[in-house]
Structure 1
């Protein structure tokens, strides 16, 4: 009887393990809505290979994606880099059928939407528009439909670089660990803007006591992430080629460190782009485009500060966005310039990366989001 129980338990555990599927969703600049724009691949969590599942056409430039907390819906910035255009679109993903189906679109409230985030309750979608520097707030109804935006904030001020910072440019919208604050990374104004988020209100964005945090002039804050412990925050600066480290408490950021993402042989033309932390909280990864085309690797110290570990080529050009799978085992880089996707296996002890699997070709690939079902 005991032997039978052990065998049954082992078999059930085996079935459960292999019933878990991990999918990678890729956005792109397709420049033609009649061609494929969003791509869905399944990630083999043993060897890191990607296998194509389905694609979606009929939408223009779905450059950035985000996944709802329950995994049912994929939201996309659409009509990115389209003159007088800009929208956000919703899709339903069914893992059982491995299908991705269009639900609806709404105007983005500005030109060139570049970043989306969803509240943990799945009822709010936040979009950042880059070109004129604005943010829009949308309710999400049952069935994943995006309703018209209920708030739209426009910003105008710029900063010291007259070519790149002639006005505000919102490049990302990121919730605090408790989802009670929203941070807007303003590349144009060299500010991290802060709002309270009251999800029970019809118009949830409210003024915060600390309205913004200044970054180094000319640094161009781009993307932002929090440590899993919720005590530290990290901002990657596109123009400054650095990561700024902050302690975090109740909507307030306090500067701890600023460290370059570039090796010593690169000291100009910075194009840093994305930043993520491993699920175990031990390592931070930052992507560099331009001349380097690599991932900078940092170990995270007990006080939240960073120490450089090394650099890993992304095996392509212009790594705009990358992602870590939920287990932290793999890092997937999207190389927009060379139109290829590369999977790396992560060393849990050292944080270093090693290429695995085969390169995947996706023309003008610009974003990846990874979800386990």
Structure 2
């Protein structure tokens, strides 16, 4: 069995204007660079730790969590200790109990890790130990159903799972059933109790979602139709009701052989960003910029070329001034500056080579 190593000798020291950023990949390593928050430049990527296909990662308090294929058809999750200099070392790994683990996220308290098994049609929650490592306490929920797309929606395919603003409910967009499955969860046991299934537009294929700054709306990506659906959220019951949708592309643009991948909300809540993928490699990969209206609705204000092929993931720097785009098929991560007044993006020309980058996560910043 391959051993996961802490590579202290290869970790570059941080400077005052730098933040470490990690990249989940479709390769066998988690990579990392230092990001200069003044210039927008990334250092050459370093191999950090060997994991079996760490395609999605999320940052906790001194611990990085990753999907893993170590357990084959059982799926897997890895917990990795983050050293002060940003180095990584394996704490432990646990199976996710079904194939195709594609997403991990933490609840607001950092006590539970949620995960989604795309191929296995299930979601789950695993309790975390005091040191952030994974315990044996796992709660599972099986999805069932289908929808109208002939090849992509023959069965359930939960694609992600997130805690809601009050940290009472967890939401799991299911691409296969065209529903957002809503669970109440117990912090001590991780037990998931299904309370609702919000209907998504037929054939849309809900993938990832984020919440408005005030928590009154949820923005859900329709992977198969390149739309962002706006849901109103009942703060008491946690239930979602679809209100409207907006196209990720300008009217009349060709959406054939295109899908979308990741969605982000700016820290001030004024703008929403979504990544669009061109499966035909016709140079149509892009990032959409939406302005959030006073009623929580969205207005498309810009679509900018992603400067990569297959932007699998995007993320906003902690200072809110930069957006990084992970190009899965082009083996590139590109950097865009953000106009904080208008939300619009401009390509900086900065990029870094990384094998099959699929997720971007910034190292947690310590509070002063």
Q: Structure 1 length as normaliser, TM-score?
A: 0.88
Find out whether 1:348 has 2:337 as its counterpart. Answer: no
> C-alpha distance in 1, partners of 2:58/2:216?
24
1:38-85 CA-partner distances (Å, limit 9, x unpaired):
0122211111111257423432110000001x2x000001119x9625
Which residue does the alignment assign to 2:209? Answer: 224
> What are the equivalent positions in structure 2 for 1:152-191 lying under 5 Å apart?
152-191=140-179
Which residue does the alignment assign to 1:365? Answer: 357
Which residue does the alignment assign to 1:277? Answer: 265
> C-alpha distance in 2, partners of 1:247/1:331?
27
8 Å CA contact retained: 1:90, 1:105: yes
Structure 1: which 5+ runs fail to align?
A: 1-17
Farther off after superposition, 165-174 or 132-141? 132-141
> C-alpha distance in 2, partners of 1:121/1:53?
31
Decide which structure has the larger Cα Rg and report it: 1
Which residue does the alignment assign to 2:327? Answer: 335
How many residues are matched? 344
8 Å CA contact retained: 2:44, 2:353: no
Q: Structure 2 length as normaliser, TM-score?
A: 0.89
Secondary structure, in 3 states, of the residue corresponding to 2:155? coil
> What are the equivalent positions in structure 2 for 1:190-205 lying under 5 Å apart?
190-200=178-188, 202-205=189-192
Runs of 4+ in 1 over 3 A off after TM superposition: 18-21
Structure 2: which 5+ runs fail to align?
A: 1-14
> C-alpha distance in 2, partners of 1:149/1:163?
35
Which residue does the alignment assign to 2:69? Answer: 79
1:129 equivalent among 117, 141, 150: 117
8 Å CA contact retained: 1:171, 1:187: yes
> C-alpha distance in 1, partners of 2:126/2:38?
38
Change (3 A) 1:313 1:149: farther
1:313-367 CA-partner distances (Å, limit 9, x unpaired):
1101000110011221110000001010001110011211112252100111111
Change (3 A) 1:339 1:53: closer
- Superposition RMSD in Å: 1.7
Find out whether 1:38 has 2:35 as its counterpart. Answer: no
> C-alpha distance in 2, partners of 1:273/1:352?
19
